Amino acid sequence: MLPSGSLYDSIITIEVGPKPPKAYWLHEGILCHHSLYFREALRGDSSESQQKVIKLEETEVKVFDAFKNWLYTGKLFDTSTLDDPKVFDVLCKIWIFGNRRGVPGLKNAAADAFIDQSLRLWILPDELFLFIYDNTSNGAQLRTLIADLLVLSRDLLEMFTRLDGSLVERYPKQLLLDVLRSPMHKDLRFQSIASKIFIGKMDRCKYHDHRGPDEI
């Protein structure tokens, strides 16, 4: 659904990152249309809504850049960014930002890009698992996605056999439980080459949040 023209009526300032912050000027209506957090921050009696300035000190500029691109173009970034393996880090941070700021559509765009990226590079960012679990709650779609992708793309028997102290430190305990609980074990009747096809065809809506910003 395309937002109506009135969403472009007024501009607000958003200051992102620690001092000195980077300032963004965005349409208030667009922000409020997509995000429950911004709607509450801007429509209430708070000082933010009076001054039309919101400060997001803990948000990284590259994450907010992607949010801004997504708001206005529907895309997180240009394709050259997607070729960088470090994009996993940004995608996870975008998902976490979308989750905290009540923007389901942004989370879904990040989850889809995460799947596309793992298919393209055929890797998973193990080094981010602890970070992801520290910043999401039980049952988060991003956790389910990672557990399912692990089941579909790794030799788990071999992975668990190597599970010595250092590996236990890298894999959150809850992730190992999520991996064991993944329904993908049942579906996995393929060798690893075929599982690449399987991941390409899997139902992405399982990892989406289909609520509107007002339903959270």
Of 22 and 208, which has the nearer Cβ to Zn ion?
208
Of 170 and 211, which has the nearer Cβ to Zn ion?
211
Shortest reach from residue 205's CB to Zn ion, in Å: 3
Beta bridge partners of 53: 13
Alpha-helical regions (H) of the chain: 28-34, 36-43, 47-51, 61-73, 79-82, 87-100, 104-121, 129-134, 141-153, 156-161, 165-170, 173-181, 184-187, 192-201
In angstroms, the CA 89 to CA 91 distance is 6
Structural tokens at position 44: 């209430």
Shortest reach from residue 206's CB to Zn ion, in Å: 8
Shortest reach from residue 146's CB to Zn ion, in Å: 17
Of 123 and 205, which has the nearer Cβ to Zn ion?
205
The answer for residues whose C-beta is within 8 angstroms of residue 148's C-beta and 6 or more apart is 182, 183, 184, 202, 206
Shortest reach from residue 204's CB to Zn ion, in Å: 6
Q: Total binding residues for Zn ion by CB under 5 A?
A: 2
Of 26 and 145, which has the nearer Cβ to Zn ion?
145
Instruction: Find the binding residues for Zn ion in span 150-209 (CB under 5 A).
Output: 205, 208
Go through the chain and tell me how many residues it has.
216
- Binding residues for Zn ion (CB under 5 A): 205, 208
